[in-house]
Structure 1
Amino acid sequence: MAYYRSAGSVPPKRHTQHRDEEGNLRYEELMGEEGFTSDSALLYHRHLPSALVDVRTWDLPDQTLVPNHPLLPRHLATHALFADPPEPADAVTGRRLLLGNADVRLGYVVASVTSPYYRNGIGDECLYVEDGRGRVETVFGDLDAGPGDYVVVPRATTYRVVPEGPMRIYAIEANSHIGPPRRYLSRYGQLLEHAPYCERDLRGPEEPRVLEGGDVEVYLKHRGPGPGGIAGTVHVLPHHPFDVVGWDGCLYPYVLNVADFEPITGRVHQPPPVHQVFEGHNFVVCNFVPRKVDYHPLAIPVPYYHSNVDSDEVMFYCGGDYEARRGSGIGQGSISLHPGGHPHGPQPGAYERSIGLEAVDELAVMVDTFRPLDLGEAGLACDDGQYAWSWAGGRRGE
């Protein structure tokens, strides 16, 4: 993360003795990125953080991926994946895989019960809350999450999700770190004046949650045998993982609400990079929010037709009225996949209807990847099978 925070009890100098009131030593743990050469945090535990008493295999939800072949644009109706009302599921073991490649995996879940304690040992996670509210409890402290919140969780952070009721969560799992685009940051890590959000918009943990207990299970996703080189293990700890009395540093989970993203507009249509909110290795995350649109007298406010020469484009429609997709079947909770090599743009009639618009009321989260995306079991299950023909009036084979 871009700036330093401190919470709870930490010693005046790092890597020195830190004792409780009775003289017992706290155990310092460094969580550091890129081999101790990038952002890090120091956590002070009451017990040994590496202690284990048991281990077993965790059979992950289906991680199989199949190529998008023959190459097609697709519409994934995520709301069709879960019954209404949904069967009990949690945000970790109930997560279903929509799309993925070697850099990022995109999943969806309607979570209504508390998840197990969990850590992703492969990469950072970004959980976008489409609807519902809950609490994300982490080893650093708690984060409240609600509609429109991005919850960014660094790699190997132990956490669990406690819903207040059904929570619709769009999960972006990286094989790398996720953070603000580098062009938004000074060389020292401060968000710059041209960035569409700043440090004041970020909500971090206030105080660590200190809990006791033994034989606590932590579900771990890590590299290993299995589809995509991903495996699961359950570690049983003799002490509760949330035994941290204090921490400090620049690596911690945080929340950004999409309403705090300030859109950039212009006289003519602006390209997707102005909507970028995060980046990871070989992918970017953008969001399209309600905003005034292009004000040139001859402007066409919807996107021009474009070819993704270097990327696959995934758009998650999560609010408002998406004018450019009217008539395609896309609605709340839909995902469109526009693969590299295929030109795409507004649906028939949208180009003309947009002329004269002064504002749009749309909300969407876009992930652009720089390697092709394959289809997961959930993506195959909720593909409507019709979207590819929507620009030609629904005709196939004619």
Structure 2
Amino acid sequence: MAYYRQVGNVPPKRHTQHRTPEGGLYFEELMGEEGFSSDSSLLYHRHIPSAIVDAQPWEPPSLDVSPNHPLRPRHLKTHELTQDWKAQDAVTGRRLLLGNDDVRLSYVAAGESSPLYRNAIGDECVYVESGAGTVETVFGALPVRQGDYAVIPRATTHRWVPEGNEPLRLYCIEASSHITPVRRYLSKFGQLLEHAPYCERDLHGPEGLLEAHGENVEVLVKHRGARGGITGTRYVYPRHPFDVVGWDGCLYPYTFNIADFEPITGRVHQPPPVHQVFEGNNFVICNFVPRKVDYHPLSIPVPYYHSNVDSDEVMFYCGGNYEARKGAGIGQGSITLHPGGHAHGPQPGAYERSIGAEFFDELAVMVDTFKPLQVGEGGLATEDEAYAWTWAGGRR
């Protein structure tokens, strides 16, 4: 994210001696992307960061998927997964909804603090549907609240700590790549440009460092397995990994709140790329926020019918009323999958009903993938099987 930050105590020049008050050396760790050729940060530890005293297999939550065959649009009701939220945590409680080799979409409602966790497969972008808490990380504490995207770089040791008496509801987008701001929003040096719908002031990094202590500390690591699969390992560290006294660089976790996204509108209906907020390898993330809509005198504000010839489209409905889906049973926490090869658009009546509208009060997070998505066990458990036939008034 080429946006430099410095937190805590670092030496004046990198890769030089940085000594403790007692005269010993702090241990410098370079955390970098793309083999020393992209963004990185330098962290200074009290203890050797690579020291482990045990490693055992760990089985992550189920990643089994089933093909979307026969091909049909789907509606998933994520809130049906949350009855036991008080006993769930934000890592081991995730239920896989949809996934492919590039991205996995999960949902969890958490009431318990998670174990220490590190995703070594790719970056995570976690949307906070409701609730509040803190993501405690090796970089420091990252407060999260409703509407936040928490972008957590690959291999960042962290844990989720919910706050209050309500569940922390999370929509988890796990990549097999890095997740970054949109390239067309960036200058050649990485600054967000004037036409971007947000800027660096809207990005919030960790607040202060964490001074955690302890011995024989467990960390769950999700990582690459045999034949391209995903597996996990439970490490035991002799000292707590949150022993950083300072760090600096351009690679770190941060939050961006959806309320800080400035919508791009026009005289006629604008295509989904104007709503884009992040991108990964073979997928993009967009958000649809409350906004004024098309102002041409003959405009039709809801989307035109369209065929996703190159992608699958996933919408997570997280606030307001999504005008195009009225009459389809969509509610708070719903997810729809409109796969490539299926023409989709507004529900019957929504097209005509939208004429003359000046404002849409809707909130949704969209993920478009360029490889077909398959359905996870959480998706199969929450499917509204009547959804595919709603454009025709029901199955015949």
TM-score by length of 1: 0.98
Residue 47 of structure 1: how far off its partner (Å): 0.2
Kindly provide the CA deviation profile for residues 285-306 of structure 1, in whole angstroms up to 9, marking residues without a partner as x.
0000000000000000000000
Matched, 1:95 2:100: no
The aligned counterpart of 1:390 is 390
Residue 314 of structure 1: how far off its partner (Å): 0.2
Kindly provide the CA deviation profile for residues 163-191 of structure 1, in whole angstroms up to 9, marking residues without a partner as x.
01410000000000001010000000000
Q: Secondary structure at the match of 1:200?
A: helix
* Structure 1 stretches of at least 4 aligned residues deviating more than 2 Å after TM superposition: none
- How many angstroms apart in 1 are the aligned matches of 2:137 and 2:60? 21
The aligned counterpart of 2:169 is 168
The aligned counterpart of 2:149 is 150
Gaps (5+ residues) in structure 1? Answer: none
- How many angstroms apart in 2 are the aligned matches of 1:68 and 1:302? 27
Match runs of 1:250-265 below 5 Å: 250-265=250-265
Letter in 2 for 1:222: H
Whether the aligned pair in 1 keeps the contact of 2:43 and 2:247 (CA below 8 Å) is yes
- How many angstroms apart in 1 are the aligned matches of 2:196 and 2:301? 23
Match runs of 1:1-398 below 5 Å: 1-83=1-83, 86-165=85-164, 166-225=167-226, 229-394=229-394, 396=395, 398=396
- How many angstroms apart in 1 are the aligned matches of 2:59 and 2:19? 40
Whether the aligned pair in 1 keeps the contact of 2:209 and 2:244 (CA below 8 Å) is yes
- How many angstroms apart in 2 are the aligned matches of 1:60 and 1:384? 27
Residue 2 of structure 1: how far off its partner (Å): 3.0
Q: Secondary structure at the match of 1:215?
A: strand
Kindly provide the CA deviation profile for residues 12-37 of structure 1, in whole angstroms up to 9, marking residues without a partner as x.
00000000111110000000100000
| Percent of pairs with identical residues | 74
Letter in 1 for 2:94: R
- How many angstroms apart in 1 are the aligned matches of 2:250 and 2:390? 47
Letter in 1 for 2:120: G
Letter in 1 for 2:383: D
Q: Secondary structure at the match of 2:55?
A: strand
Residue 225 of structure 1: how far off its partner (Å): 4.0
Q: Secondary structure at the match of 2:391?
A: helix
Whether the aligned pair in 2 keeps the contact of 1:88 and 1:113 (CA below 8 Å) is yes
Q: Secondary structure at the match of 1:231?
A: strand
Kindly provide the CA deviation profile for residues 148-167 of structure 1, in whole angstroms up to 9, marking residues without a partner as x.
00000000000000001410
Residue 66 of structure 1: how far off its partner (Å): 1.0
TM-score by length of 2: 0.98
Residue 209 of structure 1: how far off its partner (Å): 1.0
Residue 218 of structure 1: how far off its partner (Å): 0.3
RMSD: 0.9
Kindly provide the CA deviation profile for residues 112-167 of structure 1, in whole angstroms up to 9, marking residues without a partner as x.
00000000000000110000010010000101101000000000000000001410
Letter in 2 for 1:240: H
Kindly provide the CA deviation profile for residues 40-87 of structure 1, in whole angstroms up to 9, marking residues without a partner as x.
00000000000001111112111101110000100000001121x634
Gaps (5+ residues) in structure 2? Answer: none
Whether the aligned pair in 2 keeps the contact of 1:2 and 1:191 (CA below 8 Å) is no
Q: Secondary structure at the match of 2:180?
A: coil
Letter in 2 for 1:90: D
Letter in 2 for 1:19: R
Letter in 2 for 1:180: P
Whether the aligned pair in 2 keeps the contact of 1:318 and 1:365 (CA below 8 Å) is yes
